[in-house]
């Protein structure tokens, strides 16, 4: 886990300079709201048949998303994260980031599920509307009494969504 955190921090600090992008453009003043659909191969299979719908709020590099997924258990993911964007000078903007997600599961007593993920993707912007998609890799910690396999898992993750930018 510490190695993953260190790697993400190093990438987020070095990559802007290798792309000749100033740190300011990576943490530009943005204010947006939107919706996203996200999931991972472990929780999507064991708990929710698809992914999780989340409403999100973006303020600069910080984002917060809260949502819902229904499957064998009701699950409410709360995601907090940082995203560094690297504008290319036209409508496509690649990004790198990291998310910490805690999954509230009210139907399961003593459920403790959280994940940390590193992610990369691209966002296409036309005016104030952005549409994005990305993939990532997460470590998921699951302690759920009704699930046979418990402990730490690693999994591929994915996300897709749309945002409306109020400030850019």
Residue pLDDT, tens place only, 36-75: 998 876 555 455 556 889 999 999 999 999 999 877 778 8
Q: Is the pTM value of this prediction over 0.85?
A: no
Q: Give per-residue pLDDT as tens, 75-126.
A: 889 999 999 998 887 889 999 999 999 988 877 767 778 889 999 999 999 9
Assign domain 2-167 to a CATH class: mainly beta
Domain regions of the chain by residue span = 2-167
Calculate Rg over the CA atoms of the chain.
16
Cα–Cα nearest to 155, from 43, 2, 15: 43
For β-strands 52-59 and 62-70, DSSP reports them as antiparallel
Is 127 in a helix, a strand, or coil? coil
CB atoms within 10 A of CB 168: 12
Side-chain-facing half-sphere of 128: CA atoms under 13 Å: 8
């Amino acid at each position: 886990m510490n190695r993953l955190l260190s790697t993400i921090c190093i990438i987020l600090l070095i990559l802007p300079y290798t792309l000749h992008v100033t740190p300011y453009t990576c943490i530009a003043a943005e204010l947006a709201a939107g919706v996203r659909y996200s999931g991972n191969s472990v929780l999507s299979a064991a708990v929710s048949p698809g992914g999780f719908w989340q409403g999100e709020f973006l303020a600069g590099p910080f984002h917060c998303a809260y949502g819902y997924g229904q499957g064998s258990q009701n699950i409410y993911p709360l995601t907090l994260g940082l995203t560094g964007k690297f504008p290319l000078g036209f409508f496509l903007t690649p990004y790198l980031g990291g998310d910490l997600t805690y999954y509230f599961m009210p139907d399961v007593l003593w459920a403790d599920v959280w994940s940390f993920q590193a992610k990369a993707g691209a966002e296409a912007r036309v005016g104030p509307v952005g549409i994005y998609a990305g993939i990532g890799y997460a470590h998921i910690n699951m302690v759920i009494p009704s699930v046979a396999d418990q402990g730490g898992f690693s999994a591929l993750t994915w996300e897709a969504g749309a945002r409306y930018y109020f400030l850019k």
